[in-house]
Structure 1
């Protein structure tokens, strides 16, 4: 039997996206333009009001110029620890 996956922390994902955006010195408007994701949707994702689909996460990563896995891993919870963003 396969164990269920660990929980996913959407708050940590939102924080990592916000940190990556700020590290890239991009405004929400600039990332929206680069990624094709609306500013409102980016706000909702950064504030953990919505969980992005993988295609949305891919578009955001592309807009930031980083691999999608770099963003996705920050939402993975390992035991009691949450992966730390390194932006």
Structure 2
């Protein structure tokens, strides 16, 4: 990964299966749904454009990867883990 960047986020994405495809989707834990929607979209745009690695508690194992833009939606692309010998 050399000069790659890593962003550890907490609640940018609560439900990966839904919110990567529909970043406008909010949930009860979003205290300010409009702000949560705007921040999620801005962060997904940023990390997908810069191909920044992300990790966070709500991401499925291996919970480390990058975000790819797919039109108006996104997807999480996990980083493959390779065991050292």
Q: Which one has a larger percent strand, Structure 1 or Structure 2? A: 2
TM over 0.5: no
Q: Which one has a larger percent helix, Structure 1 or Structure 2? A: 1
Q: TM-score, normalised by structure 2?
A: 0.30
